[in-house]
């Protein structure tokens, strides 16, 4: 079932997201969180850091798995999602390094690496709470609109839309990797609870489609409507067409 929560502004969305994260951690200190990148979760990460500093959140037993990584970027690359996660969250909280998992962007054997990533998620007991953003084209993680979607972690070719949307983080569009490693749809939909965040007018149309269109591989986020516990947290601007 999809629950929709509309906040007055992006900060309210972030605070509500962290309320749900806090509930999960307090209910199960050794929980498994699925984490996302992009500009949307930044305020949520700042709020997590704030509550950690206030002593309200303890990450000492938490395990995390990130959704995706650009293929070809190693973890020291400033545009890699590894770098992003350490710079925007992990270095400020007390999560043990060995419990942090982010797909490797430079695996030697891609197929074996992807199976290994899924296996580690399964061995951890599965994801308790998965945080998601949404691409303007409806992708989640890097599961792009296509005729077919993949179940497990896999290498994906990014669409032109995504390359253009993400070019703002790179010196030029030519620097944006054309491929990425992402958790698949089954991995994401197996999370016990899912929170999808969106803010700003630029996401208003895709949020409307996500809630109202048919469930189709051409809009991967529409599959979230099949999940029993999804909360969509958006601000007023992203709710403009609802």
Question: Is the separation of the CB atoms in 111 and 153 below 8 Å?
Answer: no
Buried (b) or exposed (e) across 94-115, using 16+ Cβ within 10 A? ebeeebbbbbbbbbeebeebbe
Applying CB under 6 A, does 35 fall inside the site for ligand GLP? no
Does 227 participate in catalysis according to the annotation?
no
Applying CB under 6 A, does 65 fall inside the site for ligand GLP? no
Applying CB under 6 A, does 95 fall inside the site for ligand GLP? no
Question: Is the separation of the CB atoms in 83 and 63 below 8 Å?
Answer: no
- Residue length of the chain: 242
Q: Which stretch binds ligand GLP (CB under 6 A): 88-96, 99-107, 120-128, 132-140?
A: 132-140
The footprint of ligand GLP on this chain (CB under 6 A) covers a number of residues equal to: 14
**Out of 44, 66, 137, 162, which residue is the one contacting ligand GLP (CB under 6 A)?**
162
Applying CB under 6 A, does 233 fall inside the site for ligand GLP? no
The token pair at 160 is 């032109």
Integer Cα distance of 175 and 73 in angstroms: 11
**Out of 7, 18, 37, 71, which residue is the one contacting ligand GLP (CB under 6 A)?**
37
Integer Cα distance of 160 and 18 in angstroms: 33
Q: Which stretch binds ligand GLP (CB under 6 A): 8-16, 32-40, 116-124, 170-178?
A: 32-40
Does 8 participate in catalysis according to the annotation?
no
Q: Which positions touch ligand GLP (CB under 6 A)?
A: 36-40, 67-68, 133-135, 141-142, 162, 166
């Amino acid at each position: 079932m999809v629950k929709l929560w509309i906040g007055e502004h992006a900060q309210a969305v972030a605070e509500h997201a962290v309320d749900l994260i806090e509930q999960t951690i307090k209910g199960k200190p050794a929980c498994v969180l699925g984490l996302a990148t992009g500009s949307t979760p930044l305020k949520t990460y700042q709020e997590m850091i704030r509550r950690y500093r206030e002593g309200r959140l303890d990450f000492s037993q938490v395990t995390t798995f990130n959704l995706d990584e650009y293929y070809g970027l190693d973890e020291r690359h400033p545009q890699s999602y590894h770098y992003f996660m350490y710079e925007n969250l992990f270095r400020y909280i007390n999560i043990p390094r060995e419990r942090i998992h982010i797909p490797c962007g430079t695996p030697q054997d891609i197929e074996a690496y992807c199976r290994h990533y899924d296996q580690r998620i399964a061995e951890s007991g599965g994801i308790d709470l998965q945080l998601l953003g949404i691409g303007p084209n409806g992708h989640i993680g890097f599961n792009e609109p296509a005729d077919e979607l993949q179940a497990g972690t896999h290498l994906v070719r990014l669409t032109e839309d995504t390359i253009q949307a993400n070019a703002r983080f790179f010196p030029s569009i030519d620097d944006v990797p054309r491929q990425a490693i992402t958790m698949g749809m089954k991995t994401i939909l197996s999370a016990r609870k899912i929170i999808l965040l969106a803010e700003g007018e630029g996401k208003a149309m895709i949020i409307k489609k996500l809630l109202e269109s048919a469930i189709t591989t051409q809009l991967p986020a529409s599959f979230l409507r099949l999940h029993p516990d999804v909360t969509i947290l958006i601000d007023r601007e992203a709710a403009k067409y609802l």
